Amino acid sequence: MPVSFDSDQRIFKLDTAGSSYVFQIYDEGYLVHLYYGAKIPDINLSLHKYKGWFCSPAPVNINIDDPDFSPDVNTFEFPGEGTGDFRESAIAIGNADGNNSTDFRYVSHRIYDGKPALKGLPSLHISDDSQAQTLEVLTCDKVTGIQAVLYYTVFEEFSAMTRSVKVINPSGNEVEIERIMSACVDFNTRDFDLITLYGKWGKERSVNRSPITHTRQSVSSKRGSSSHHQNPFAAIVDRDAGEEHGNAYGFNFVYSGNFLFSADPDPYGGARVIMGINPEGFGWRLKPGEEFTAPEVVMVYSGDGIGAMSRTFHRLYSKHLIRGAWADVKRPLLINNWEATGMDFTGDKLVTFAERAKELGIDMLVMDDGWFGRRDDDKSSLGDWFVNEEKLGGPLNDFIKRINDLGIKFGIWFEPEMVSRDSDLYRLHPDWCIHVPGREKSIARYQYVLDYSRKEVRDYIYSLMYGILSENNIAYVKWDFNRNLSEVGSAALPAENQREVFHRYVLGVYEIMDRLTSDFPGLLLENCSSGGGRFDPGMLYYSPQIWTSDNTDPIERLSIQFGTSLCYPASTMGAHVSASKRAGYETKGNVALWGTFGYELDPNKFTDEDREIVKHQVGEYHKYYDIIHKGDLYRLISPHENHWRAAWMFVSPDKSEALLTCVVMRKPEDRSFYLKLRGLDSGKYYVDDESGEVYSGALLMNAGLCLNRFGMEDGDSFKIYLRAL
Ligand code: GLA
């Protein structure tokens, strides 16, 4: 049983293949956290409860006869606000009396096979109740009568669990949730480093690592989306943890809006980690009888380093997050016209793209921005989802038929959450965008954000999308989102509900994505947000792939893809070969292979030599697809740590094949460089077909391969494919 309860000690134990998570119902119903880490057999962990001297100002509960216990210093599962615990709280509720003291204590619990879905929210899913087990703990604030149900679901096979919370108001008073964290873990040490993923447009998800010392460190977004700037992922790792060794705890929030992750050191040597909806700009009114469900946090533990943590996330997400017809199916190799043409294209021009695509073995043409309204630049027409037949040379159906007749599938771009200032929709419904009456509306890329908290707005946009998708043979949609939310308010909500708009907006987006994926189950959806500005597990629940970055320079992409891979599998990372200048097609292809793979250029401009390279790449895409998309990733040399080279490898699950890729970022100064491979079977022999050399797995992993290649220049790269004999 992954979840057990020892009724003598009143201890819950959540075991996975590699981890244990333990907490106790202490006196007066306090839920005291005891342990999270490598799997342990013990049940009696009550002694593990924090003991020690603390100073007299620390508040104590007068009903508890234990000199070692204080809300100020003990470790808790779901700490409230203003009742003796001065660290960051997991929950704060503005009560009917105007006070926000909040204190939830244990009432009851139940343990069952399976995992409940979260209403209106994306979450990890199971296909069979035997795949997960859930502990539900009902808690109550006895002064206000408000209840909170804590959900813990254990994915035993994966050393992973999820946490979320539902707040219920059975009282007769309306209250306001001011703050709600989906997960809180009180570690009894702060001897950790914190790893987060920071960035900006064109430079998403770089890796930041810093020690947790005496200062609170947090990452967050208040942009209305998870953002380019900080990803809703963080890991707490041993100070000396590396790819292959050390404890690593990964946290990832299944949510696409404002989030907060914080590591809050306490004065006694511990650290509290919390993750949830960003409380800044958030409030949620709860009338009598209503409930509120917070999104879930995925927690992964690895005792074998950061690499194993990532591989667990990859496997877990491939099986329990990514859904639908495309979850396990090979994705089409596509060509997108954006970088080649911008909005300056015609139907005829795109047909030439499809003709070249056919010659090269590419499966699909994606028509990007500019096919609707009067959209010849980014100043107009978002919201006016009517086909520009003049540009396409006739109805969309006829145009798609020309593409399909070549044997090429067709995909299309939408930006459904936006409205251009210069659009018929905005002229007709100026109050349909997010705004605060009387305040200037900031514009970004000449557009406003539609108020997706309003059903009529969502329904209108969806009806236009539905029309286009149901009347035409469209196999793929790129769903874009190109600005952040500012002056956040809704014309449809009363004053007291305005702080709900951020969250209602995200729920509205999820509702439309849900309708889209249900109405068109065979459609391949790719999310995008000015590149990778909304690369999060919430989006991955609806779209199995996300455009990783608008930056397609292969050298820049290395750090973006390395960072992204800390949490997200290769099959989710949109990666294309473009006409960027810094490296040749071989390196661009080698880097894009670590993703969904495709092209983002004008294929009419290829030289004969380019065409041969591309045909070869298309062959490699097919040859290596399974190793990369179903195999295990080993990051060998990170561009975040090494100036000269980056290297990574994929190993098939049965360890019978491996693909090593190495990119020279700057011509290295060393004359000989040996790289130890990872993840192979030390008892097997592997052949490198290209050179004919045979090596044992043991040799490759212990002595390594000499990676120096004569004549390698900046931007060059190579791959080595190894096959077990
Ligand atoms: C965003 C996307 C690009 C492209 C343009 C179109 O910037 O990231 O890939 O689709 O929008 O306007």
Residue 366 Cβ < 6 Å to ligand 1: no
Distance CA 395, CA 387 (A): 8
Nearest CA to ligand 1 atom 1: 530
The residues near 692 (Cβ < 8 Å, ≥ 6 apart) are none
pLDDT band at 51 (very low <50, low <70, confident <90, very high): low
At residue 325, the pLDDT reads 96
What single string gives the DSSP state of each residue in 671-704?
A: S--EE---S--TTSEEEETTT--EEEHHHHHHT-
pLDDT at 47: 62
Q: Token pair for residue 157?
A: 């096979």
Is pLDDT at 458 greater than 70 in this prediction? yes
Average pLDDT of the residues in 422-444: 97
Among 335, 476, 550, residue to substitute to test ligand 1 (most atoms within 8 Å of Cβ): 550
Mean local confidence (pLDDT), 391-420: 98
Average pLDDT over residues 369-382: 98
Comparing CA positions, the residue from 382, 160, 121 lying closest to residue 257 is: 121
| CA-nearest residue, atom 6 of ligand 1 | 369
Residues 6+ apart with CB under 8 A from 53: none
Backbone angles phi, psi at 446, to 5 degrees: 60, 25
Cβ 328 vs Cβ 299: under 8 Å: no
Residue 339 token pair: 């970088």
Q: What is the mean pLDDT of the chain?
A: 96
663 φ/ψ angles, rounded to the nearest 5 degrees: -120, 130
Does residue 295 have a pLDDT over 80?
yes
Q: Which of 201, 335, 368, 601 to mutate to test the pocket of ligand 1 (most atoms within 8 A of CB)?
A: 368
Which numbered atom of ligand 1 lies nearest the CA of 530?
8
| 208 within 8 A of 197, measured Cβ to Cβ | yes
Burial of 84 (0-12, 13-18, 19+ CB in 10 A): middle
What are the structural domains, with CATH classification, of the chain?
A: 3-52+66-320 (2.70.98.60), 334-420+456-482+521-631 (3.20.20.70), 636-724 (2.60.40.1180)
Residue with CA nearest ligand 1 atom 11 = 530
Q: Whose CA is nearest to atom 3 of ligand 1?
A: 530
What's the mean pLDDT in 477-496? 98
Give the strand pairing for 19-25 and 11-15: antiparallel
Strands 657-664, 674-675: pairing kind: unpaired
User: What pLDDT shows up at residue 67?
Assistant: 81
Q: Provide the token pair at 567.
A: 């949490």
Planar angle of CA 516, 535, 224, nearest 5 degrees: 80
The token duo for 357 is 């695509």
Residue 641: CB atoms within 10 A of its CB come to 11
Question: From CA 364, how far away is CA 597, in angstroms rounded?
Answer: 12
Nearest CA to ligand 1 atom 4: 338
Nearest ligand 1 atom to alpha carbon 528: 8
Report the half-sphere exposure of 404 (CA within 13 A, side-chain side).
12
Residue 694 near residue 686, CB atoms below 8 Å? yes
Radius of gyration of the chain (CA): 27
Q: For residue 105, what are the β-bridge partners?
A: 140
Residue 49 confidence class, pLDDT cut points 50, 70, 90: low
**What is the mean pLDDT of the segment spanning 356-383?**
98
pLDDT at 52: 60
3-class SS at 509? helix
480 close to ligand 1 (CB < 6 Angstrom): yes
Residue 346, both tokens: 């015609």
User: What's the gap in Å between 551 CA and the centre of ligand 1?
Assistant: 11
Tell me the backbone φ, ψ of residue 390, rounded to 5 degrees. Answer: -60, -45
C-alpha 427 chain-centroid distance:
36
Work out which ligand 1 atom sits closest to the CA atom of 413: 10
In this structure, how many other beta carbons lie within 10 angstroms of the beta carbon of residue 72?
A: 18
CA angle 586, 587, 589 (to 5 degrees): 65
Q: Which of 480, 536, 553, 716 is catalytic?
A: 480
Q: What is the band of 58 on the pLDDT scale with cuts at 50, 70, 90?
A: confident
Question: Nearest 5 degrees, angle CA 300-CA 302-CA 304?
Answer: 160
**Is any ligand 1 atom within 6 A of the Cβ of residue 156?**
no
In degrees, to the nearest 5, what angle opens at C-alpha 253 toward C-alphas 249 and 256? 155
Residue 480 annotated in active site? yes
Pairing of β 409-414 and β 476-479: parallel
Ligand 1 centroid to residue 531 C-alpha, Å:
7
| Ligand 1 center to 575 CA (angstroms) | 14
Distance 59 CA to ligand 1 centre (A): 54
Between the CA of 572 and the centroid of ligand 1 the distance, in Å, is 18
pLDDT at position 710 is 67
User: Mean of the pLDDT values across residues 668-680?
Assistant: 87
pLDDT confidence of residue 667: 85
CA pair distance 488, 225, nearest whole angstrom: 13
Give the model's pLDDT for residue 54: 62
Residue of the CA atom closest to atom 8 of ligand 1 = 530
Of 156, 314, 310, 318, residue with least CA distance to 241: 310
Nearest CA to 252 out of 308, 206, 212, 197 is that of 197
Query: Helix 396-405 and helix 347-360: axis angle, to 10°?
Result: 20
Please tell me the distance between residue 530's alpha carbon and the centre of ligand 1 in angstroms: 5
Ligand 1 in reach of 531 Cβ (< 6 A)? yes
- Find tokens 């703990």 and name the residue: 137
C-beta of 412 in contact with ligand 1 (< 6 A): no
pLDDT at 44 over 90: no
Question: What is the mean predicted confidence (pLDDT) over 659-679?
Answer: 90
Cβ atoms within 10 A of the Cβ of 254, count?
24
Distance CA 436, CA 451 (A): 11
Q: pLDDT per residue over 540-571, tens digit each?
A: 999 999 999 999 999 999 999 999 999 999 99
CA distances to 145, 171, 334, 548 from 174, in Å = 11, 8, 52, 43
pLDDT band at 272, cuts 50/70/90?
very high
Tell how far the Cα of 481 is from the centroid of ligand 1, in angstroms.
Answer: 8
Q: DSSP secondary-structure letter at 333?
A: P
Q: Is 201 exposed, middle or buried (0-12, 13-18, 19+ CB in 10 A)?
A: middle
- At 668 the pLDDT is 81
* 494-to-279, 500, 536 alpha-carbon distances in Å: 20, 10, 31
* DSSP code string of 250-261: EEEE--SS-EEE
Q: SS3 for 304?
A: strand
* Averaged pLDDT for residues 616-623: 98
Beta pairing partners, 387: 372
Ligand 1 centroid distance, CA of 663 (Å): 27
- pLDDT, residue 672, reads 78
For position 85, what pLDDT does the model report? 94
pLDDT digit string (tens) for 168-178? Answer: 999 999 999 99
Given 141, 363, 536, 550, the catalytic residue? 550
Q: Of 436, 418, 331, which is closest to residue 373 (Cα–Cα)? A: 418
Average pLDDT over every residue of 478-490:
98
Cα(121)–Cα(256) distance, integer angstroms: 10
Count the helices and strands in the chain (H runs, E runs). 13, 39
Tens of pLDDT, residue by residue over 502-524, are: 999 999 999 999 999 999 999 99
Q: Report the pLDDT value the prediction gives residue 59, as an integer from 0 to 100.
A: 85
Q: Which residues contact residue 607 at a Cβ distance below 8 angstroms, ignoring those fewer than 6 apart?
A: none
Task: Verify whether ligand 1 is closer than 6 Å to residue 572 (CB atom).
Answer: no
Say which range, 47-61, 71-85, 162-176, 687-701, has the weakest mean pLDDT.
47-61
Let me know: does 39 contact 16? Beta carbons within 8 Å: yes
CA dihedral 134, 137, 138, 144 (to 10 degrees): -130
Do β-strands 105-113 and 91-94 pair in parallel, antiparallel, or remain unpaired? Answer: unpaired
**Does the annotation count 68 as an active-site position?**
no
